[in-house]
Amino acid sequence: MSKEITITGGNFESEVIKSSVPVLLDFWAPWCGPCRMIAPFLEQIADEYDGKLKVGKINVDEENELAIKHNVASIPTLAVYKNGVQEFIQSGALPKNQLEGLVQKYL
């Protein structure tokens, strides 16, 4: 079972801003091919780094206000929050080794 968390406007503060561990956010949509391509990598990272990192999924179709707040113009967009502060944001799919490098940087 995946350790990924669905992030919404209602739980953003508690799951991301107040998180005691870094949070990797994936802004995605079900119809997005590149989003589906990186989904298995994100699921693996969520499992491998459980307890050290959260992986949150934000469906931009359902959570448009969060996407606008983060200036998400294309998907997938990945963001990292640490200690309640956005430390990184980038649009585009990344291979698993680059995703792991990104995660390692913020642990």
Return the CATH number at 23. 3.40.30.10
Q: Report the pLDDT value the prediction gives residue 86, as an integer from 0 to 100.
A: 96
- Residue 32 pLDDT grade (very low, low, confident, very high; cuts 50, 70, 90): very high
What residues contact residue 99 under an 8 Å CB cut-off, 6+ apart? 24, 38, 41, 42, 45, 78
Beta pairing class for 54-59 and 77-82:
unpaired
**Tokens representing 45?**
């990272």
Q: Does 2 score more than 90 pLDDT?
A: no
Size of the chain, expressed as the number of residues it contains: 107
Q: What is the structure's pLDDT at 1?
A: 53
Give the chain's domain count.
1
Domain span including residue 80: 5-106
The pTM of this model reads 0.94
- Per residue in 71-92, pLDDT (tens digit) is 999 999 999 999 999 999 999 9
pLDDT tens digits, one per residue of 37-56 = 999 999 999 999 999 999 99
Catalytic residue set: 32, 35
Sequence-distant (6+) residues with CB within 8 A of 86 are 70, 79, 80
